[in-house]
Amino acid sequence: MNTFYRAVAPFVLLSIRCVAQITIPVETTDFAVVLQSDKDNYLHMVYCGKKLNQSVDYKDIISTYRFPSGNSGVYSNAYTPAGTWNLAEPAIQVTHSDGNPSLDLKYVSHQTVKPDANSTLTTVQLADPVYKLNVSLFYKTWQLENVIEQWSEITNQEKGPVVLQKYASANLFFPNNTFYLTSFQGQYLKEMQPTEEKLQQGIRTIDSKLGTRAMLLGTPNFIVSFDQPAQENSGTVLLGQLAWSGNYKLDFEIDSYKTLRLIAGINPYASAYTLPAGKSFRTPSLIYTISGNGTGQASRQLQRWARNYRVLDGKGDRLTLLNNWEATYFDFDETKLSGLITDTKKLGADMFLLDDGWFGNKYPRNNDDAGLGDWQENVKKLPHGIGYLVKAAKETGVKFGIWIEPEMVNPKSELYEKHPDWVIRQPERPEKYYRNQLVLDLANPQVQDFVFGVVDGLFTKNPELAFIKWDCNAVIYNAYSVWLSKNKLPQTHLYVEYVRGLYAVLERIRAKHPKVPMMLCSGGGGRGDYELLKYFTEFWPSDDTEPIERIFQQWNYSYFFPSITTDCHVTDWGKQPIKFRVDVASMGKLGFDIVVNHLKPTELEFCQQALKNYSEFKTTVWHGEQYRLASPYENPFASLMYVSANKANAVMFSYFHSSSPIFTLIK
């Protein structure tokens, strides 16, 4: 029999397969992922769905499937190895120290601990019976939020180095019949556009090879809906994200039995990783939540988890701000900025945020083609330095924040002249620029020190600096690291070591400056994942601030992120009245990027009142439960509601796409 059946008539199926040996339920309050070893000690994922009343019931689950002979059982493998009898997409592929490319993984042991009342951590050990290579699978659960974080650790106990050709974070298996995948693709100014498709036999891959701003063209966020297209309030859905800030690859494989295999991890493209003897490689995490009541509940679960456990200061406060980017671009000086600081106060925002253009002397940053990397105040524009502005802001009664882009360099800069070796580029080939700039080699510890120094220097010189906007505007072209080559390390480590270097810098920054809010920006929405959000309080979803388009974009981001993390600025994009623009931005963390002096008196008065109103309901927007009431994709209007945890307050936003919004504050 060539087909693999679900249990529709269990009595027919009783005698079919092996005696189950070990059953490992990974349970949250409502859901369970269940692993089970077979008679040959291979570990399978045998269940993903509603938690059963008694965990003993899971043992029988495998007997409700009918496995044909041959190698089909390998499809449900909990971490599929390559090079032996598996012919499906592998989770792991290695070349052993003796050059042998085969891997087999068998169950060895497992344990579950309870780090705190709301979580469990299950670790499963797998080992190759022939080679000394082990894999540990980790499943961390947050019970109340129904969230699972899953990652793997590969340990080389052979005598020599092992090359990891592929090293996924997670390998999931779902034996339903029909699957719908929603992925979120885009481009600059059109980030996070959803596409839903019915998965067909074969592999649907979502990936990035951009290196730095990895989410620009597509994101590692996805929705799998079981049996029907995703609904907001009904049906079983899984919402997930690979929390990795570099190249990622998500494979959704419908195998020949029409079951779904999901393999998610670092993109193996140009990234074979040589693991020395005695060393382990920890993969990034796949984070997912399951809901039996549609995407609405799933998003609320993920948003709650993010606020409570993941995002830096997720339960805290945020600063409203006036940003000068679209008001001045690079054209400003101390006098103009002092005026904008006064405008910030006049508007009633908490902070003035100074954007790009404040640095560089030999090559002044008067445009985006020079100065990046030279983080000294431009003496013409700011003769008294940043300190003067921080002080001026304090005297005016507002806080002061600043823009940096410390991972990047313009070829027209002193940094480039002094340290060409720090730059990622092919030494023998013409340089290729993205926004006139190149990326610094964060695999190099000296570059890590430099980037740390940029941030630390700003805080040390200006202890009252209240905010950092950390930008990242270039992708990696001509991937090549002088440092890796000098240290006789393979170039194929670059994409991985770059991201690890970035995390190492952020660890150091947060060890020394744990609280200061930082915004993650990437020329719009090129970055924003749950690994970086351990260090950042918020992110910039898109340079597109046209309010109608923002309604759609913010809607899409809200599947995965709580509104407290989503920075939304009122700008001059769009022709809508000021109220419409302010209302749309008030659905996230509110800011302004406008010329205050250009506002009509009535508009200024409106903004001042709007900021006062916002301070009354912002806690509900930031920390409340979000309900997506009417989708802009299905209606000529959109409606969202935020309800405080104690259900005492709610804020509802409703918009006609081409008319003024109706805004209601219910108290």
Site for ligand GLA in 24-83 (CB under 6 A): none
Residues with Cβ within 8 Å of residue 29, at least 6 apart in sequence: 51, 143, 144, 146
Task: Check if the beta carbon of residue 308 is closer than 8 Å to that of residue 315.
Answer: yes
String of contacts with ligand GLA for each residue 347-366, x by CB under 6 A:
--------xx----------
**E strand residue ranges, 558-630:** 567-570, 589-592, 625-630
Residues numbered 511 to 550 that lie near ligand GLA (CB under 6 A) are 521, 523-524, 540, 543
Phi-psi region of 381 (alpha: psi -120 to 50; beta: other; left: phi over 0): alpha
The minimum distance between CB 42 and ligand GLA, in angstroms, equals 48
Q: How many residues lie near ligand GLA (CB under 6 A)?
A: 12
CB 594 within 8 A of CB 547: no
Cα angle at 189 between 478 and 410, to 5 degrees? 35
CB of 521 to ligand GLA, least distance (A): 5
Rounded least distance, CB 189 to ligand GLA, Å: 10
For 360-420, the DSSP string reads -SSS--SSTTS-TT--SB-TTT-TTHHHHHHHHHHHHT-EEEEEE-TTEE-SSSHHHHH-G
> 523 or 588: whose CB is closer to ligand GLA?
523
Q: Least distance from C-beta 473 to ligand GLA, angstroms?
A: 6
CB 548, min distance to ligand GLA, A: 20
Residues between 294 and 353 with contacts to ligand GLA, criterion CB under 6 A: 325
Return the residues of window 365-394 that contact ligand GLA according to CB under 6 A. Answer: 368
Closer Cβ to ligand GLA, 310 or 569, answer by number: 569
d(CA 347, CA 357): 23
Kindly state the smallest distance separating residue 543's Cβ from ligand GLA, in Å.
5
Judged by beta carbon, residue 149 or residue 356, the one nearer ligand GLA is 356
The amino acid present at 473, given as its one-letter code, is N
Q: Which residue's CB is nearer to ligand GLA, number 346 or number 435? A: 435
**Could you give the string, one character per residue 121-160, with x where binding to ligand GLA holds by CB under 6 A and - elsewhere?**
----------------------------------------
- We find the least distance from the C-beta atom of residue 115 to ligand GLA, in angstroms, to be 38
CB contact at 8 A, 432 and 401: no
Q: Across 550-588, where does the E strand assignment appear? A: 567-570
Q: Please state, as a whole number, how many other Cβ atoms lie within 10 Å of the Cβ of residue 378.
A: 20
Task: Kindly tell me which of 309 and 400 has the beta carbon lying closer to ligand GLA.
Answer: 400
Interface pattern 248-267 for ligand GLA (x via CB under 6 A): --------------------
CA angle (212 as vertex; 206, 216 as ends), nearest 5: 50
Q: Which two tokens stand for residue 218?
A: 């597509």
Least distance between ligand GLA and beta carbon 523 (Å): 4
Nearer to ligand GLA by Cβ, of 33 and 216: the residue is 216
**CA-based nearest residue to 195, from 232, 235, 222:** 222
Residues 468-487 that bind ligand GLA (CB under 6 A): 471, 473
Report the nearest approach of ligand GLA to the CB of residue 522 (Å).
7
Indicate the residue among 251 and 543 with the shorter CB distance to ligand GLA: 543
Least distance (Å) between residue 542 CB and ligand GLA: 8
Closer to ligand GLA at the Cβ: 227 or 331? Answer: 331
Return the exposure string of 601-613: e unless at least 16 CB atoms fall within 10 Å of the residue's CB, then b: eebbebbeebbee
Q: Considering the complex, what minimum distance in angstroms separates the CB of residue 217 from ligand GLA?
A: 16
Nearer to ligand GLA among residue 73 and residue 524 (C-beta): 524
Assigned token pair, 373: 């990397």
Cβ 368 to ligand GLA, closest distance in Å? 6
Q: In this complex, which beta carbon is closest to ligand GLA, that of residue 354 or of residue 638? A: 354
Total residues found in the chain within this entry:
667
Kindly tell me which of 211 and 296 has the beta carbon lying closer to ligand GLA.
211
Q: State in angstroms the smallest separation of the CB of 594 from ligand GLA.
A: 14
Q: Please report how close the Cβ of residue 565 comes to ligand GLA at its closest, in angstroms.
A: 16
Tokens of 117: 């009342």
Give the residue with the Cβ less far from ligand GLA, 184 or 325: 325
Kindly identify the residues of this chain, within the stretch 396-415, that bind ligand GLA according to CB under 6 A: 403
Q: How far is Cα 517 from Cα 528, in angstroms, rounded to an integer?
A: 15
The residue among 330 and 656 lying less far from ligand GLA, judged by its C-beta, is 330
The least distance separating ligand GLA from the CB of residue 325, rounded to whole angstroms, comes to 5
In the complex, minimum distance from the CB of residue 529 to ligand GLA, in angstroms, rounded to a whole number: 17
Given the complex with ligand GLA, which of 244 and 325 has the nearer CB atom? 325
Alpha carbon distance 305, 243 (integer Å)? 14
303, 623 Cβ separation under 8 angstroms:
no
Whether the CB-CB separation of 411 and 433 falls below 8 Å is answered with: yes
- Smallest distance, ligand GLA to C-beta of residue 218, A: 18
End-to-end CA distance of the chain: 63
Query: Which of residues 251 and 356 has its CB atom nearest to ligand GLA in the complex?
Result: 356
Question: Residue for token digits 């990437």?
Answer: 522
Residue 86 backbone class (left: φ over 0; alpha: ψ -120 to 50; beta: rest): beta
Distances in whole angstroms, Cα of residue 372 to Cα of each of 337, 476, 504: 20, 16, 22
Identify whether the C-beta of residue 189 lies closer than 8 Å to the C-beta of residue 544. yes
Phi first, then psi, for residue 467 (nearest 5°) are -165, 145
Structure tokens at 379: 């003496």
Nearest to 468 by CA among 527, 515, 414, 424: 515
Which residue sits closest to ligand GLA, CB atoms considered?
356
**Footprint of ligand GLA on residues 93-112 (CB under 6 A)?**
none
Under a CB-based contact definition with an 8 Å cutoff, are residues 427 and 482 in contact?
yes
How far is it, in rounded angstroms, from Cα 6 to Cα 297?
A: 27
Nearer to ligand GLA, 483 or 540 (CB): 540
- Interface residues for ligand GLA in 204-223 (CB under 6 A)? none
Binding mask 416-455 for ligand GLA (x = CB under 6 A): ----------------------------------------
Number of H helices and E strands in the chain, helices first, is 12, 33
For 459, counting Cβ atoms within 10 Å of its Cβ (0-12 exposed, 13-18 middle, 19+ buried), the class is middle
> Which CB, 119 or 545, lies closer to ligand GLA?
545
- Report the DSSP pairing between strands 625-630 and 589-592: unpaired
Question: Residues 452 to 471: which contact ligand GLA by CB under 6 A?
Answer: 471
Q: Which residues bind ligand GLA (CB under 6 A)?
A: 325, 355-356, 368, 403, 471, 473, 521, 523-524, 540, 543
